[in-house]
Chains A and B, each alone.
Chain A
Amino acid sequence: MESTIVKTVDYNAYFGDNHVVKNLNIEIPKNHVIAVMGPSGCGKTTFLRGINRMHELTVNATAKGKILLNNEDVMQMHPILVRLKIGMVFQRPNPFPNLSIYDNVIAGYKLNGIKLPKAERDKIVEESLTNVALWNEVKDSLNKKGSFLSGGQQQRLCIARAVAMQPEVLLFDEPTSALDPISTSTVEELFHELKKNYTLIIVTHNMQQAARVSDKTAFFYVGELVEYDDTKTMFTNPKDIRTQNYITGRFS
């Protein structure tokens, strides 16, 4: 039985007067991987960044409506609290260059001033790195800075950093578009594992990726949610003509 973890109610997002996300109503089930697709400028990234209240960091950015996380309205909570429950991984891997790998993983705790006993910190670091299949590769260089890691490893480090905070939802903004094919497939394999404990919302430009990793797919077009269905159905039998055109490559 699917239970909903994230639900938006008439969510609208603006950049100044530009109405970028229009009347969004979507329900996201727990422990699923949701792919969000659409042509450039369709509002998918704005929607994603709205969920963890990063949208409003941009000048002139505003939003209306509700976003419910387990029936609590995220728009009414303090953004910092929201971001502790929802993690984000960005397009370009961005580990903190002045911190070691170890410190990068627990950066969330460190930045928030949460002091943990060493045993617990070690446990979190090991678990998070294991969850992203990085533990074996870096366990002997935890104190080194992460600049020697490859792009794929850096991105997995960023995922470990987000996962270490034990959020309920993980947001991914085109997480593999800056990676090579091998790193991409390693990260994609992670998604299957991660969804056991988390809910993943992934914005992607890559339809094959959406088809490979997601359970459900949402298709956005010019700010509106056009179609939202099981991935298999969406790709084999899209109901809306716009979805069909996008999938068959009429526009991208």
Chain B
Amino acid sequence: MENKLNYRIAKSKFFQILTVTLAFACVLPLIAILLFIIQAGITKINWHFLTNIPKPVGETGGGIANALLGTLIIILTASVIAIPIGILTGVFLSENKKSKLAYWTRLCVDILQGVPSIVVGIVVYFWLVKPLGGFSALSGSVALAIMMLPIVIRSTEETLKLLPDSLREAAFALGMPFHRMILKVIIPCGISGILSGVMLSVARVAGETAPLLFTAFGNPYLSTNITKPMQSLPLLIFNYATSPYNDWHDLAWGASLILLLFVLVLNILTKLITRKWKVQL
């Protein structure tokens, strides 16, 4: 009996150690990737790199200015589309818990969240690129906006659902109409959750390549015209990394570092802000 017991205790200890080992082993690839990209990219980044467009093949130098600007413009446009629609839909869902339409909307949002990004790209190609006769940053933004929507909607709905009904009642009792109650009471109280949803959605789409492959398509030149093709960081990285030219690989490493840092910083910021701005109920 004693022996059996010792064996069982040892087994318990063994599995504990195994679990801890496996759990921490997961983060090794992440650390490896971070370190590698830092050392591969850091030497490539300088002012020249950030302010110039890529040079044609064979010429050294060049930079990723077009991709930086392009990413900014595309994401901004996508946000302008997705944020208001997302927040309003989130409000719709949180204020209409039981209606039939809300059920279907919720279902559609959940399904939308799981749609592969490349499928979204295909669909927007047929919705915008073909009819308008060419690739454009706008179509890229629409594709990214579609991917941002479920994240913004979900976090808005979840945040607002947590707010007690007594808040709404207090507003009504003061004679506020519905829209004021939402805009002046409910949304401000839930702003930390909504904001974190927005930031997360931006972090998510900043790194998306697939939806842009057949919409924004990419552009070797600096452009601010959203009705024309535009370059973005992930697109540049994909195209240059898979090219056979070492110069372009260098550009891709520098771009990777910038993109990675951007996404990670945004994620970490989101966590910090959520904690700081949370309204105590």
Contact = CB atoms under 8 A, between A and B. Distances in A.
* Contact flag (A, B; Cβ within 8 A): yes
Interface of A: 78, 80-81, 112-114
10 contacts: A78-B5, A78-B9, A80-B5, A80-B8, A80-B9, A81-B5, A112-B8, A113-B4, A113-B8, A114-B4
Interface in B3-54: 4-5, 8-9
Chain A interface helix/strand/loop/mixed: loop
Looking at chain B, what size class is its interface with the partner chain? under 10
B104 to A, nearest CB: 33
A81 B8 CA distance: 12
Given A78-B9, A80-B8, 8 more contacts: A78-B5, A80-B5, A80-B9, A81-B5, A112-B8, A113-B4, A113-B8, A114-B4
A231 B5 CA distance: 40
Contacts of B8: 80, 112-113
Interface of B: 4-5, 8-9
Contacts of A112: 8
Nearest to B8: A113
Contacts of B5: 78, 80-81
A81 B5 CA distance: 8
A167 to B, nearest CB: 15
Nearest to B12: A80
Nearest to B7: A113
Contacts of B4: 113-114
Contacts of B9: 78, 80
Contacts of A113: 4, 8
Q: Is the interface of B mostly helix, strand, loop or mixed?
A: helix
Nearest to A80: B5
A80 B9 CA distance: 9
A78 B8 CA distance: 12
A113 B6 CA distance: 12
A114 B3 CA distance: 12
Contacts of A80: 5, 8-9
Name, among B4, B5, B9, the residue most crowded by chain A CB atoms within 10 Å (CB to CB): B5
B64 to A, nearest CB: 51
A81 B4 CA distance: 11
A80 B7 CA distance: 13
A192 to B, nearest CB: 32
A81 B6 CA distance: 11
A114 B4 CA distance: 9
Nearest to A111: B8
Contacts of A114: 4
Nearest to B2: A81
Nearest to A112: B8
A44 B8 CA distance: 32
CB-based closest 6 A-B pairs: A80-B5, A113-B8, A81-B5, A113-B4, A78-B5, A80-B9
A134 to B, nearest CB: 29
Contacts of A81: 5
B1 to A, nearest CB: 8
A78 B10 CA distance: 13
A248 B8 CA distance: 50
B3 to A, nearest CB: 12
A81 B2 CA distance: 9
B4 to A, nearest CB: 7
A106 B8 CA distance: 18
Contacts of A78: 5, 9
A80 B13 CA distance: 14
Nearest to B11: A113
Nearest to B4: A113
B8 to A, nearest CB: 6
A23 B144 CA distance: 68
A116 to B, nearest CB: 13
A32 B257 CA distance: 74
A62 B37 CA distance: 48
A51 B237 CA distance: 65
Nearest to A78: B5
A84 to B, nearest CB: 9
B110 to A, nearest CB: 28
B272 to A, nearest CB: 27
A53 B8 CA distance: 18
Nearest to B6: A78
